[in-house]
């Protein structure tokens, strides 16, 4: 467990909890603790789904600019790889990952949210990539994940301007998946995550990998990735359970074992 980031596990749901006062600024220490929490969440058998949560006030307001201001070009050459890979560690968690967003998700905080599979957003929250206002660009996936999510034109407009996106616009353009009152954000994320706890976890894992890896390649290669993952699931106990249950009892009654 890190000083500012911890993994809390309850009822099959792992919550990666950011807790660095006041605004969960993502300094080097927080970035590395996010990586550690993501790797732990991905490897634990008792974690079936993951929530990334910054607390009731703020998700994460961005990088620690005071720390970054002192960095030279060569400092950032050395640091940019670990920065990007710490956020990618969240994207690579082989389980459903939901960002529970309150307050602000800006800069690195928005990039952290983009690394999740889904985003539950408070109705008064603000999201954005304001790096351009500092004379830089997003450096932990913002230019790539945002454009894949909302399209290149919208991503360019948001990134070029550095403006904040409110919850309703985020929902309209696909940056948010659900918008709820701020007080309900974490509970909504838990309810959603709970739907995956009893799922065929290796099938969910394969589906996530097929989609994510498929988006990185051409269609034919993506279809081959899908084919191989599809075939591989015939080696799992859950495939046997699911098909037997369907034949004998009809759909939706299987009790999967996660193996």
Token look-up 């909504």 returns: 188
As a whole number of angstroms, the distance between CA 27 and CA 79 comes to 11
Strand order of the sheet with strand 118-122?
A: 5-10, 13-18, 49-53, 97-101, 118-122, 178-180
Which tokens sit at 193? Answer: 């995550």
Known catalytic residue at 111: yes
Q: What is the full DSSP assignment across 42-88?
A: HH-TT--EEEEE--SS-SB--B-HHHHHT--HHHHHHHHHHHHHHHH
Nearest Cα to 257, choosing from 201, 212, 209, 180? 201
Q: How many CB atoms lie within 10 A of CB 136?
A: 12
Residue 229: phi, psi to the nearest 5? Answer: -70, -40
Annotation marks residue 157 as catalytic: no
- Pairing between strand 97-101 and 49-53? parallel
Sign of the alpha-carbon torsion through 186, 179, 176, 25: negative
Among the options 131, 191, 220, 224, which is catalytic?
A: 131
Catalytic residue among 8, 32, 111, 220: 111
The residues annotated as belonging to the active site are: 111, 131
């Amino acid at each position: 467990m890190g000083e500012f980031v911890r993994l809390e596990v309850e009822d099959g749901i792992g919550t990666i909890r950011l807790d660095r006062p006041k605004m969960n600024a993502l300094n080097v220490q927080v970035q590395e603790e996010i990586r550690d929490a993501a790797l732990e969440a991905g490897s634990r058998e008792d974690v079936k789904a993951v929530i990334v949560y910054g607390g009731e006030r703020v998700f994460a307001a961005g990088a620690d600019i005071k720390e970054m201001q002192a960095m030279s070009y060569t400092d950032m050459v050395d640091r940019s790889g670990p920065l990007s890979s710490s956020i990618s560690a969240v994207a690579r968690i082989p389980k459903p990952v939901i960002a529970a967003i309150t307050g602000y998700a800006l800069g690195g905080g928005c990039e952290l949210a983009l690394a999740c599979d889904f985003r539950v957003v408070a109705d008064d929250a603000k999201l954005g990539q304001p790096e351009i206002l500092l004379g830089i660009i997003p450096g932990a996936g913002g230019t790539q994940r945002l454009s894949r999510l909302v399209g290149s034109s919208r991503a360019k407009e948001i990134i070029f301007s550095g403006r904040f996106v409110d919850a309703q616009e985020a929902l309209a353009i696909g940056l948010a998946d659900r918008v709820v009152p701020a007080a309900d954000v974490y509970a909504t994320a838990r309810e959603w995550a709970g739907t995956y706890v009893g799922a065929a976890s290796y099938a969910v894992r394969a589906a996530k990998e097929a989609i994510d890896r498929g988006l990185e390649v051409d269609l034919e290669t993506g279809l081959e990735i899908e084919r191989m993952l599809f075939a591989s699931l015939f080696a799992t106990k859950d495939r046997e359970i699911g098909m037997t249950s369907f034949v004998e009892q009809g759909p939706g009654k299987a009790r999967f074992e996660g193996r």
